Structure 1
Amino acid sequence: MAGSAGSAQAPPGQRRVLAALALAQFICSFAGSNMNVMINDISRDLDTTVQGVQVAITVFLLVMAALMIPGGKLTDRYGRKRCFVTGLVVYAVGALLSAAAPGLGVLILGNSILEGIGTALLIPPVYILTTLLYPDLTSRARAFGIIMALGGIGAAAGPLIGGLITTGISWRAAFVFQALVIAVIVWLSRHIEDPLPPDPDRSFDTTGAVLSAVGLVLVVMGILAADNNIWLTIVLIGLGVFVLAWFLRSMGAKERAGQEPLLSLGLFRNRTSNLGLVTQNVQWLILMGTSFTVAAYLQVVRGYDAIQTGVIFTAATLGLLLTSLSAERLARRYPQRTLIMTGFVASVAGVAVLVALAGSFSSAWAFVPGLVLIGLGLGVMLTPSVNVVQSSFPEERQGEISGLSRSVSNLGSSFGTAIAGTILVSGLSKGAYAAAMITLGVIGLGGLAAAALLPRTPDATAPAGDTPASTPRKRT
């Protein structure tokens, strides 16, 4: 009889395990944002355009979102540690290939494809292992707080770190830096012990994996095409919605036939989890959309270099770090719903302040108050949103919900970059910048509305008919 999440003992070197998981989230988030300050350097070196670099950034985020559900499902069959380490190796190969890229095509292969695949394999185990190893709400909040803090820092400080490396050495060295961090994570992962044994006989729904990936790709590519051809956008998004509907219908048919689908439709019957997923999507949309919009504006319109751009983003990083690392204390004092709503209010207010001050003053300091507010808001709500979703399901469904949760979050990152980037490349001016940020703020209000519908009490997070992940449950 395998130990449950509730009874699992902390493995030796648990701090090193948490460090490995947190660093993994850091480097993947870093990869999604550090290229924002390399736009000019990469486009000049590889003889491409701003749009070309935007495509590389968006494809990386898209590959993560498209493959995260299959990646989460594979953990049940091959084990969480094996998928984690395999993902790290694939990621490292992609980083080194990107560092040596002679052109945009190879950069997309290394950064967008291989790093995206590696991330889709290694990120679901991060959230599954954390949920299983930390059974109660406050300890899990602390662990997720550290992981989300590192993830948020990777996304928010990516421009600064990437800017320092790019200016001091070259943009290629930033990918070597990623490979070195991966080596450290692999070394730390020696201490990871999988709380649940893998099930080699577990089936894998290849058809479902293909349908889900194709549908997501079509939707995001449709958004990217908006600045060139609105009819192409309509066609691509329409096809994407059709394929995703086909995917969901296929999942339902497999369940009725007694087969195991890639994704159980029962996951979507939990209202609390559904609302939590919406908040996750919008949070990462705001974070990555803001990162891309502000970085592109500062470099292309105001002519700032990579370091100057990265230094400005330090404001968001500090705000996010301050509130993320307080996740355990905040979880003990306030309901998760309150924290998520507060985060959205602060983030939307930050967007408004950013647009108002940046449009009125030419100084770089005009960006600081808004970015601080956005960082504080995101740091407050990233951890409780993850906790709401993960804690809504028992341990045997953690592979599915972790894959779905990370897919939804990374899809938000893709949407943020695609939507904001599409508005920006239509005319890189103060007007386009303001329009992109206002769009992100309006979407943030939608996230606030979803958060307001969350249950007021923690007990309401448990799905009907399921045992919460925070409740001990024996497995035979």
Structure 2
Amino acid sequence: MAAVAGARRVLAPLALAQFICSFAGSNMNVMINDISKDLDTTVQGVQVAITVFLLVMAALMIPGGKLTDKWGRKRCLVAGLSVYGVGAVLSAAAPGLGVLILGNSILEGVGTALLIPPVYILTTLLFTDTASRARAFGAIMAMGGIGAAAGPLIGGLITSAISWRAAFVFQALVIVVIVALSRGLADPLPPDPARPFDTVGAVLSAAGLVLLVTGILAVDNNGWLALGLLLAGALVLAGFLAWVRGRERAGREALLSTALFRDRTSNLGLVTQNTQWLMLMGVSFTVAAYLQVVRGYDAVETGVIFTAATLGILATSLAAGRLARLHTQRGLIMTGFVVTISGIAVLLALVAWKPGAWAFAPGLLLIGLGLGVMLTPSVNVVQSCFPEARQGEISGLSRSVSNLGSSLGTAVAGTILVSGLSKGAYAAAMAALAVVGLGGLTAAALLPRTARPAAPGTATAPPPGASQQ
């Protein structure tokens, strides 16, 4: 019993941290009309704020993961929570879109990039066997999935009862609770202040990702500008890889080791992670915008409709430990994609056939069930491919890839949607997400048929400059 209680004390702040960050990524979807009217902006303006938040997370997650080795995992967690809390308070008081972007998109994004890598590193280090780690990741991913799926409902209730600004006050209060719960959290590895940090690599990686997603956002307004941004992003990322290789050849530690990309299983797992979050955030933004702008539903009605997805994610994520004992990780991920794609198909078919709000429930439930099945095994596949010495790097890369998927989901689906809400763009956006899902299913099918044993406990030589126990 003492061990169970101790595990719960460790998991509580970590799971809540994942919840509030996922909540922040989706709760604004039901505030589109309220924020745009109050701040005298447009639907596209709010979409930019949402996407920039997700983009900042994706761009800074790799440097954030690397800093955990230098500053310590718990210290990064608390620092990230503090920055996030300041951003939430600033967003609540925002007089215009610019301040909202500063508070929500920038500060909350930076805070998330600092606090999320420690969540996954600490979980991997503290839960060493496959079954306990699957249960721990199941709880964390369940809270993340609930935050993303229930964000519209909670945000809608708060917005309708009080104001959209109160939703940011709610975030700040949750941050205070997490900081209090984190006081008893122990860091299993000591920080290494002398460890070098690749500043040039951090700037190049962040700039490349920013240019890439900005290019996607610009497609609707200026095709040539979008093409230029996409090409620039690709060139900067190529330069980042060249820089990393150069530092490694010189015997210096780089921001991201190229060894992380030599593991086929990890690479495929990263693809499935990116695709899952792309689909989740893309569906969330598309359905929420369609319900409010085209159907005229208010924030509460929109949030209630999303309850079906929340229940689906909750049911399957909490069963992650049991599912991991009964099925291979490959089988769970493939099943998740099949169910999620089927949910999108049902959503399109029933919404076209029956205009009532209930028509959204079956499809959203299937999407929630499918995502809940595969979120945990995808994370476990990637994290378990590497030893303790690589957990900072792979956690940052893993979260960056996932959050890049989130920002791409909002950017791609949102760009299609706002280009013609009344001209079948809803169906086009959902169909595009289903096609992306097929790509994720293909990657999952290429994973090994048997689960790989957990690696964090293996004895391997640490990379240059790595702290040792």
Q: TM-score band, normalised by the shorter chain?
A: over 0.9
Report the counterpart of residue 384 of structure 1 in structure 2: 377
How far is the alpha carbon of 1:470 from its aligned partner?
4.6
Report the counterpart of residue 344 of structure 1 in structure 2: 337
| CA distance in structure 1 between the partners assigned to 2:457 and 2:331 by the alignment | 20
1:10–1:133 CA contact under 8 A, matched in 2: no
| CA distance in structure 1 between the partners assigned to 2:341 and 2:120 by the alignment | 27
How far is the alpha carbon of 1:457 from its aligned partner?
1.1
Report the counterpart of residue 465 of structure 2 in structure 1: none
1:102-121 alignment to 2 at 5 Å?
Answer: 102-121=95-114
Deviation string 1:426-468 (CA, Å, 9 cap, x unpaired) is: 0112610000000000000000000000001123x67xxxxx2
How far is the alpha carbon of 1:471 from its aligned partner?
3.8
Report the counterpart of residue 149 of structure 2 in structure 1: 156
Report the counterpart of residue 49 of structure 2 in structure 1: 56
Q: How many aligned positions are there?
A: 462
Deviation string 1:251-282 (CA, Å, 9 cap, x unpaired) is: 00100000000000000000000000000000
How far is the alpha carbon of 1:10 from its aligned partner?
7.3
Report the counterpart of residue 88 of structure 2 in structure 1: 95
**Secondary structure of the structure 1 residue equivalent to 2:306:** helix
Report the counterpart of residue 394 of structure 1 in structure 2: 387
Task: Name the % identity.
Answer: 78
Report the counterpart of residue 297 of structure 1 in structure 2: 290
| CA distance in structure 1 between the partners assigned to 2:234 and 2:20 by the alignment | 31
Deviation string 1:402-441 (CA, Å, 9 cap, x unpaired) is: 0000000000000000000000110112610000000000
Q: Tell me whether 1:255 sits opposite 2:255 in the alignment.
A: no
Structure 1 unaligned segments of length 5 or more: list them.
1-8, 463-467
Report the counterpart of residue 181 of structure 2 in structure 1: 188
Report the counterpart of residue 170 of structure 2 in structure 1: 177
1:426-437 alignment to 2 at 5 Å?
Answer: 426-429=419-422, 431-437=424-430
TM-score normalised by L of structure 1: 0.95
| CA distance in structure 2 between the partners assigned to 1:214 and 1:226 by the alignment | 19
| CA distance in structure 2 between the partners assigned to 1:15 and 1:145 by the alignment | 13
How far is the alpha carbon of 1:15 from its aligned partner?
1.5
Q: Tell me whether 1:165 sits opposite 2:158 in the alignment.
A: yes
1:420–1:437 CA contact under 8 A, matched in 2: yes
Report the counterpart of residue 5 of structure 1 in structure 2: none
Deviation string 1:87-139 (CA, Å, 9 cap, x unpaired) is: 00000000000000000000000000000000000000000000000001110
AA in 2 matched with 1:469: P
| CA distance in structure 1 between the partners assigned to 2:43 and 2:348 by the alignment | 23
| CA distance in structure 1 between the partners assigned to 2:296 and 2:423 by the alignment | 13
| CA distance in structure 1 between the partners assigned to 2:393 and 2:112 by the alignment | 16
Report the counterpart of residue 327 of structure 1 in structure 2: 320
Deviation string 1:1-44 (CA, Å, 9 cap, x unpaired) is: xxxxxxxx979843122010000000000000000000000000
Q: Tell me whether 1:370 sits opposite 2:363 in the alignment.
A: yes
Deviation string 1:317-361 (CA, Å, 9 cap, x unpaired) is: 000100000000000000000000000000000011101111111
| CA distance in structure 2 between the partners assigned to 1:384 and 1:210 by the alignment | 31
Report the counterpart of residue 407 of structure 1 in structure 2: 400
| CA distance in structure 2 between the partners assigned to 1:14 and 1:76 by the alignment | 23
Q: Tell me whether 1:243 sits opposite 2:236 in the alignment.
A: yes
| CA distance in structure 1 between the partners assigned to 2:57 and 2:325 by the alignment | 33
**Secondary structure of the structure 1 residue equivalent to 2:25:** helix
Report the counterpart of residue 311 of structure 1 in structure 2: 304
1:12–1:191 CA contact under 8 A, matched in 2: no
**Secondary structure of the structure 2 residue equivalent to 1:458:** coil
Structure 2 unaligned segments of length 5 or more: list them.
462-467
Report the counterpart of residue 464 of structure 2 in structure 1: none
| CA distance in structure 1 between the partners assigned to 2:7 and 2:313 by the alignment | 25
Query: Where does structure 1 differ by over 3 angstroms across 4 or more consecutive aligned residues?
Result: 9-14, 470-476
| CA distance in structure 2 between the partners assigned to 1:138 and 1:271 by the alignment | 23
The counterpart of 1:419, out of the listed 412, 415, 426, is 412
Report the counterpart of residue 456 of structure 2 in structure 1: 469
1:18-33 alignment to 2 at 5 Å?
Answer: 18-33=11-26
Q: Tell me whether 1:212 sits opposite 2:199 in the alignment.
A: no
1:278–1:447 CA contact under 8 A, matched in 2: yes
